[in-house]
């Protein structure tokens, strides 16, 4: 166990950025009812405040895209932690809805930058045999962050102190900042920036079972896979016949993830439970905590399944399960009977279980695996922008949809997109289990 201490520590630190992501994503669900009591806001403004984080994340993704290759993965994560810290403080101290929206935009920049960089960082330090598990740790920490945010909401729900609900995020931001300052840069980035000797030392610590010959082979493969790293690849490269399948799949996996309805549930869980027939703020918050617990538990299961049964089968299974779950919520709320709240609760909990074991971690994992090294920052940026843009759309429009077509129509739309996900996963999902990043370039891309 001692020999893996460095790898374990680095994984925990990088995955902490997932916790920050999850916390700021989930905390608004419990805080929003009390924010509405402090500030007079419309339904549309409610959506604006909620969707400010994913909108800011688009800018953060672009920032990471243009800096991670030039300055490294580690500096980008340091900046992300600092942005989280500042944004959380401003949010907790906001004196009107506009300052709160600005603060959440700032937090979004940090989320977008680190959500693109952290999976890349994890994929580039992980041995191939456990890369899926390690990158999935990022998604696990997202779910833990969501659970922590729901528990913060429940803890301060009695007093209605939404400032403390949000302010709790300052503490993990500080831990992540200190941790990443003490972490090394990734061996792949070091190798491509004329520091192969330092990269060898880091690989030797991260993979102590590797012989000097094994380490030399890894360094050689990194150099060969990089191709021409002297200039950024043209955007048209992603439309080439060899790269387009990876580009389209990485983006559409996130689009379908968002259109499954996950962030409508994460952002607006108490409101959904209220519309489904539950009454009382405490009951709604406790049901929300149940979502968080299931999310964490099944993401842990996903970390095993992603390496045992593989990515492709897991993605197909996930879309089948989420389709059935969303259909149950739709039918239950359509019936409007005494059992409606409980059937809807079962449907939502089941949806979260299937999402956590499949749709949650797999797009992040695929995004970090599929692109060749020289295309990875821009390729991951394309996928991330698709993710955050549709996250923004769902967060902004969900309150409006709920008010106009109701919970039945809204969840029927989510069900339809989950069904589309089944078809698309069967047609396009690749399998990358147990294959090195360099081998993926040759086997999956044909380059």
Highest mean pLDDT range out of 183-192, 277-286, 287-296, 330-339?
Answer: 183-192
* pLDDT score for 88: 92
Report CA torsion sign: 333, 291, 98, 158: positive
Does residue 258 have a pLDDT over 50? yes
Give me the CATH number covering residue 43. 1.20.1250.20
In-domain check, residue 190: no
Condensed to tens digits (0 to 9), the pLDDT of residues 341-385 reads 788 888 989 999 999 899 988 998 888 788 877 777 788 888 888
Residue with tokens 């617990």: 293
Overall average pLDDT of the 92-113 stretch: 93
Q: What is the residue range of 232's domain? A: 2-183+227-443
Residue 418 has pLDDT above 90, yes or no: yes
Model confidence at 445: pLDDT above 60: no
Average pLDDT value for residue range 117-135 = 81
Angle (CA) 345-347-349 rounded to 5° is: 65
In the chain, the percentage of residues whose pLDDT exceeds 90 is: 26
Task: Note whether residue 282 is domain-resident.
Answer: yes
**pLDDT given at position 423:** 96
User: pLDDT digits over 39-71, tens only?
Assistant: 888 888 888 898 899 899 999 988 988 888 888
Does the pLDDT at position 2 exceed 50? no
pLDDT value, residue 447: 46
Mean per-residue pLDDT over the chain, rounded: 84
User: How far is Cα 85 from Cα 96, in angstroms, rounded to an integer?
Assistant: 20
pLDDT value, residue 40: 82
pLDDT at 78: 95
185 against 43, higher pLDDT: 185
pLDDT tens digits, one per residue of 306-340: 778 888 999 999 999 999 999 998 898 888 776 77
User: What's this model's pTM, rounded to 2 decimal places?
Assistant: 0.76
Is 179 within 8 Å of 12 (Cβ atoms)? yes
Classify residue 199: in a domain, yes or no.
Answer: no
Tokens 């992501």 locate to 21
- Is residue 216 one of the residues assigned to a domain? no
> How crowded is residue 235: how many other Cβ atoms within 10 Å of its Cβ?
9
12 domain residue, yes or no: yes
Is residue 113 included in any domain, yes or no? yes
Domain count for the chain: 1
Q: Residue 1 has what pLDDT?
A: 37
Q: Is residue 350 included in any domain, yes or no?
A: yes
Asked if residue 294 is part of any domain, the answer here is yes
Average pLDDT over residues 149-153: 84
What distance lies between CA 146 and its chain's CA centroid?
Answer: 11
- DSSP helix/strand/coil, 233: coil
**Number of other residues whose CB lies within 10 A of the CB of residue 252:** 18
Split at pLDDT 50, 70, 90, the class of 419 is: very high
């Amino acid at each position: 166990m001692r020999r893996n201490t460095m790898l374990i520590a680095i994984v925990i630190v990088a995955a902490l950025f997932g916790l920050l992501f999850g916390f700021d994503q989930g905390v608004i669900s419990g805080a929003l009812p009390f924010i509405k009591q402090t500030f007079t806001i419309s339904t549309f403004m409610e959506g604006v405040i909620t969707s400010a984080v994913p909108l800011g994340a688009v800018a953060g993704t672009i920032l990471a895209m243009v800096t991670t290759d030039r300055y490294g993965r580690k500096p980008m994560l340091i900046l992300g932690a600092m942005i989280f810290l500042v944004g959380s403080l401003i949010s907790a101290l906001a004196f009107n809805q506009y300052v709160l929206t600005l603060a959440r935009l700032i937090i979004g920049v940090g989320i977008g930058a680190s959500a693109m960089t952290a999976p890349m960082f994890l994929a580039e330090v992980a041995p191939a045999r456990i890369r899926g598990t390690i990158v999935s740790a990022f998604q696990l920490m997202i779910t833990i962050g969501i659970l922590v945010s729901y528990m913060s909401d429940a803890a301060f729900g009695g007093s209605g102190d939404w400032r403390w609900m949000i302010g709790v995020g300052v503490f993990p931001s500080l831990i992540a900042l200190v941790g990443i300052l003490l972490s090394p840069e990734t061996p792949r980035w070091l190798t491509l920036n004329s520091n192969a000797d330092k990269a060898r030392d880091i690989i030797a610590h991260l993979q102590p079972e590797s012989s000097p010959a094994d380490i030399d082979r890894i360094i050689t493969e990194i150099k060969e896979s990089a191709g021409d790293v002297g200039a950024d690849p043209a955007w048209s490269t992603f439309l080439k016949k060899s790269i387009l399948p990876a580009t389209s799949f990485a983006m559409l996996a996130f689009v379908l993830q968002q259109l499954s309805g996950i962030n409508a549930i994460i952002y607006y869980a108490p409101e959904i439970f209220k519309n489904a027939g539950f009454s009382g703020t405490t009951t709604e918050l406790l049901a929300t905590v149940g979502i968080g617990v299931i999310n964490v538990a099944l993401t842990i299961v996903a970390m095993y399944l992603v390496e045992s049964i593989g990515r492709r089968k897991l993605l197909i299974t996930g879309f089948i399960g989420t389709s059935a779950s969303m259909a149950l919520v739709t039918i239950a709320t359509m019936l409007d009977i005494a059992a409606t709240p409980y059937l809807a609760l079962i449907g939502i909990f089941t949806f979260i279980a299937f999402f956590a074991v499949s749709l949650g971690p797999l797009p992040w994992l695929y995004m970090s695996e599929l692109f060749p090294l020289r295309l990875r920052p821009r390729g991951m940026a394309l996928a991330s922008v698709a993710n955050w843009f549709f996250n923004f759309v769902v967060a902004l429009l969900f309150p409006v949809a709920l008010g106009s077509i109701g919970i039945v129509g809204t969840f029927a739309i989510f069900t339809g997109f989950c069904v589309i996900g089944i078809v698309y996963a069967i047609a396009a999902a690749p399998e990358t289990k147990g294959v090195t990043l360099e081998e993926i370039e040759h086997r999956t891309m044909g380059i």
